[in-house]
Amino acid sequence: MTIENILMPQLGESVTEGTIEKWLVKPGDKVNKYDPLAEVNTDKVNAEIPSSFSGTIKELIAAEGETLAVGAVVCTIEIEGAAATEATPKEEAPAAPEAPVKTAAAPKREKGAASGRFSPAVLRMSQEHGIDLALVEGSGRDGRITRKDLQAIIDSGEIPTAAPVEETVQEVAAPAPTPATPQAPPTPQAAPKAEVPVAAGDIEIPVTGVRRAIANNMLKSKHEAPHAWMTIEVDVTNLVSYRDSLKTEFKQKEGFNLTYFAFFVKAVAQALKEFPMMNSMWAGDKIIQKKDINLSIAVATEDSLFVPVIKHADEKTIKGIGREIQELATKVRSGKLKSEDMQGGTFTVNNTGSFGSIQSMGIINHPQAAILQVESIVKRPMILDGGMIAPRDMVNLCLSLDHRVLDGLVCGQFMKRVKEILENISAENTSIY
């Protein structure tokens, strides 16, 4: 028999850690390769950890509620092998005997230090709130400290901190010996936070993993990519008329709504095929022009924003794009979106018009080079050829671009082409199938 480690997998682009929400197995359970072992929550998506082997679960290393970095061991599994060696997973070498140090401060630091390992999330929370981990008693496996332990301390308002330096100096007569066993990194004093006064009736909302991921990605995009902007005005009167003539029959036949957004996504995909430079990414010493046209679309819930991807959008019909938009939105709102649903995006189209917005400047979805905001369609009086004034359905398309990758010329040509496609949609020359 051999013992193999199951590691925290990479569950998405830019995902660096995951939290074990629930174990689906226990020690002694027999599993097959690819069977789900645990439910995991990351900054971006809920997923399952599959088994890499067929065998018997030996030990659950991570506790429920514990956050581990990608590549960390979450459990061990015993598998049948040619050698009958009982491979113990990297047992710690026996520590050198500690010289007895009799100080009054020593007993106070035995709670959390016994575990010896802290996840990145636990270390981050302890630093943010000034918690001395050596004074925390963990509820996880083998006394490990979890995020839930720290949250309970934060909620109680009783933050354990290390004894003042003056007291320690008075209690220790001789210079402190170097400890034989490595301890957790000393927790620095919490960095001063933004001083926001909290008055009676104010509500403090904890930052969720998803919200933190959004913040980090947006900050990275704004810091790294020099943003520039461009807006064009499009007359979509014919598009509105065509879609409205089809929507009732389409809903009865297909079972979902034919939205304006599907027409916009199709137009963008077609224009990207004609102007492939828009479908590029910055890669430091080179620019990568992507072959596949995979359009990211923003889908919001009450407290989060997800960006699922329509793969090969240029190969899909308007009906196919509309169905995929509806399916991805349903997955997001029901919590069933998978990590693969959000990977591989090359350009983002955002339906800001659904909220009534008429002009906005989006932040580019890193590492893509551009994002297009489709604003609200509004009826306005326009001067037509010949000087006549007539009500027309108008929409603004707002492009944010990474000026390291894209210049005004190609962006202007791309936007002009999107405008042409949309203004020429009609029953005579456009099929939704």
Active site residues: 403, 407
| Bridge partners, residue 68, by sequence | 18
Closest C-alpha to 263, from 299, 226, 313, 223: 313
